[in-house]
Amino acid sequence: MDDKCIMENLLLTTKGACDLYLHGAIESPTPNVHSSFKNALNDALTMQDSIYKAMSAKGWYTTDSAPQTKLNEVKTKYSQSANA
């Protein structure tokens, strides 16, 4: 297993943990439990960001920019539905 594959696995695992912590915070029955899940989510998001930045720096995680026309279409669509 190469470094890129390991980093991809770490990123996917961390994203999964973020999802679980988010739902734990949403469904938490007490303030203490909510706080614990919220802190765990923040830590996991920080870790996810670090992994993403490391992968991006090596060219292992690239993103494509959306064309400005598409961004404008979406902005118009949702601003119209918000005003309806």
Mean pLDDT by 10 residues, the chain (84 residues): 95 97 97 98 98 96 89 89 72
- Specify the amino acid at residue 83: N
| Ranges of each domain in the chain | 3-83
Distances 46 to 40, 43, 79 between C-alpha atoms, Å: 10, 5, 31
**Polymer length in residues for the chain:** 84
The pTM of this model reads 0.75
Q: What is the pLDDT of residue 48?
A: 97
First to last CA, the chain: 53
Structure tokens at 26: 């949403």
- Specify the amino acid at residue 63: T
